[in-house]
Chain A
Amino acid sequence: MTDFDSLLKRSFAEAHEPADDGFSVSVTDAVTRTERLARLRNALQTGAWAIAGVAVLFGVYGMIMNIAPGVLTSLGFGMLRAHQVITGPGANAMQAVSAAMTQILLVTGALAGGLVAYRATQE
């Protein structure tokens, strides 16, 4: 280290620091404003999530109300057909399964979708 390097380090060490001429008050005020804005933003986000949730539920409810009668009718018809196949003359399990395949796939798909959605929320 040269003499000049030492002088430079000493000059840095001895250089005056600015006095607190209201700087810390101004920072504290800015922090208070930041916190207030963050709280407002959180409240707005929560409100937006709530509105979005209600909208989704409403949409799902409307959709279910539209398709549910058809699905239930189809399900009932399919079950009836499967039951007839099982109880009818010369019935076997393969015929029963193929008759109820649409309903089995529907229920399996719904369960798998629900499982995926559940895992996604857990992760």
Chain B
Amino acid sequence: MSPEILRLIWEATLDTLWMVAVSASLATLMGLPLGVFLATSGRGELFAAPLVNKALGFVVNATRSTPFIILVVAIIPFTRLLVGTSIGTKAAIVPLTIAATPFIARLIEGAIREVDQGLVEAARAMGATPLQIVRKVLVPEALPAIVLSLTLAVVSLLGFSAMVGAVGGGGLGDLGIRYGYQRFMPDVMAVVVVVLIVLVQLVQSTGDHLSRRLNKRLRHG
């Protein structure tokens, strides 16, 4: 494999990491509060607002049921409005973030709902405000599960980011399509796949390790 190709692979890897990092961060920033709200706004809950809850739940489901590749194309005008272009890594971040946000929100919702309601009652009995209950009880108690959820989201984003390559999104997927597929370079394709596998492994084991460290329900040593 020529040094030129190796350089391309290296750059594509960096592009992928950058796309995933930025979209994962933005999606977490929006998905975390959204997930917390979804978990706490049902009837009789902390921020009871059943109608808003239902409406948001519908939007989340709608976004999640749209196939990613269709989402990418459908929001091209929005992407152009936001970043000025619909091609390249910067443009890819927009659909990646939009797809990951409801995904993360649902995962966070599940993690928050797993927290023992007795803890919420104890915090209420201490005179905690709903916001204090979220900050001091729900999120810290759900943190190990939240970390696992975010790990899953990052792994999924790695897959999605390879898909935006099909529409000129840049990164490893783009490289695989243009060189591996269109120029018949199976060795490039193989390297792309291996790099993705290694990245997924790294992300997953880092997430698992972090979650275990945070989980104080298990006895250590």
A binds B: no
